[in-house]
Amino acid sequence: MAKTFKKTAALSDQHTHYCPGCTHGVIHRLVAEVIDELDVRGRAVGIAPVGCAVLAYNYFTFDFQEAAHGRAPAVATGIKRVRPDLIVFTYQGDGDLASIGMGEIIHSANRGEKFTSIFVNNTVYGMTGGQMAPTTLSDQRTTTSPSGRDVADVGMPIKVAELISALETPAYIARQSAIKPKYIVRAKKAIKKAFQYQLENRCFSLVEIVSTCPTNWGMTPIEAVKWTEESMHAYYPLGEIKTPE
């Protein structure tokens, strides 16, 4: 019988270390499929963040660099400036990109660096045990906001995709979600578009992906999906926020 579906070449055979119900694995697969569909594995360079995805390179089969916490966009800038022929992407969490690395992502986007950022928003610092992130929702409990995020004290959660879209420099910026097949299909389309803009040397591209962290949210995977759809989708609207046209 002919094989109708197989694992894409850009994805390795390793089992991931991610928790049950975490969407990092799904997002890895989407990125890998896009890399193969565009046939750029031989000139792809990924940049791993510091966060749960620090070991992301174990799950891909092409060149990778591991950045310091928040610095992936600067690393990507360095690569892309000296080797514009490479296809470069950063893969970053919300602590990495929206807190410690906010300066690097904003300036890379504003310079119109021709790389792609995959921004995984799970509202917490997953790797260090579920502390509050810049994207933690109002009243959401985390290990450093035990009574819920007090927005009067620490401000409102940052809408990264909208924030970066406010820059005048042309870019492709979208937000999608990874919790259900109908969203995942759209997320893949957005990721593919982002890489295509890079291939055409058009603009900076960023896809924010609303994700889960059942372990640190203290929920079952099913509860986490429900909460994401109800609470996160309400605050973080999905869709294309900016296109370079």
Partner 1 sequence: MGKVLMKGNEAIGEAAIKAGCFNYFAYPITPQSEVAEYLSRRMPEVGGVFLQGESEVAVGYMLFGAAGCGARVFTTSSSPGISLMSEALSYISSAQLPAVFVNIVRGGPGLGGILPSQADYFQATKGGGHGDYRLLVLAPDGVQEAVEMVMMAFPLAEKYRNPVMILGDGLIGQMMEPVEFPDHLISEPSNKDDWATSGMDTRNRKDRNLVKSLFLNAELLEEHNRFLKAKYDRMKQEEIRYESYNTDGDYKVLIVSYGIISRVCRTAIDMFKTEGLEVGMIRPQTLFPFPENAIKEAVSKSGCKAAISIELSMGQMVEDVERSVQGVCPVHWYGKAGGDVPTPEEIMGVVKPLSK
Ligand X SMILES: Cc1ncc(C[n+]2csc(CCOP(=O)(O)OP(=O)(O)O)c2C)c(N)n1
Asked if residue 230 binds partner 1 (CB under 8 A), the reply is no
| Of 106 and 219, CB closest to partner 1 | 106
* Count of beta carbons in the 10 Å neighbourhood of residue 147: 7
Asked if residue 161 binds ligand X (CB under 6 A), the reply is no
Q: How far apart are CA 31 and CA 12, in angstroms?
A: 13
Looking at residues 81 to 100 of the shown chain, list those that interact with partner 1 (rule: CB under 8 A): 81-83, 85-86
Looking at residues 57 to 96 of the shown chain, list those that interact with ligand X (rule: CB under 6 A): 69, 93-96
Q: Which of residues 11, 26, 31, 50 is near ligand X by CB under 6 A?
A: 50
Q: Which among partner 1, ligand X, none contacts residue 76 (Cβ within 5 to 8 A by kind)?
A: partner 1
The distance of closest approach from Cβ of residue 74 to partner 1 in the complex, given in angstroms and rounded to an integer, is 4
Q: How far apart are CA 39 and CA 71, in angstroms?
A: 27
With contact defined as beta carbons under 8 Å apart, do 110 and 167 qualify? yes
Q: Do the bridges between strand 131-132 and strand 124-125 make them parallel or antiparallel, or are there none, so unpaired?
A: antiparallel
Structure letter (DSSP) for residue 7: -
Asked if residue 66 binds partner 1 (CB under 8 A), the reply is yes
Asked if residue 64 binds partner 1 (CB under 8 A), the reply is yes
Q: Which of residues 26, 30, 31, 53 is near ligand X by CB under 6 A?
A: 53
Asked if residue 142 binds partner 1 (CB under 8 A), the reply is no
Q: Is 201 helix (H, G, I), strand (E, B) or coil?
A: coil
Q: Contact letters (x/-) for ligand X, 103-142, by CB under 6 A?
A: -------------------x-xxxxx----x---------
Q: Which among partner 1, ligand X, none contacts residue 53 (Cβ within 5 to 8 A by kind)?
A: ligand X
Asked if residue 7 binds partner 1 (CB under 8 A), the reply is no
Q: Where are the alpha helices (DSSP H) in 85-208?
A: 94-95, 102-111, 151-154, 160-165, 181-199
Q: Tell me the one-letter amino acid at 169.
A: T
* Count of beta carbons in the 10 Å neighbourhood of residue 170: 14
Asked if residue 129 binds partner 1 (CB under 8 A), the reply is no
- Reference 137, options 150, 119, 118, 125; nearest CA is 150
For residue 223, the Cα-to-chain-centroid distance in whole angstroms is 22
Residues that bind ligand X (CB under 6 A): 50-53, 69, 93-96, 122, 124-128, 133
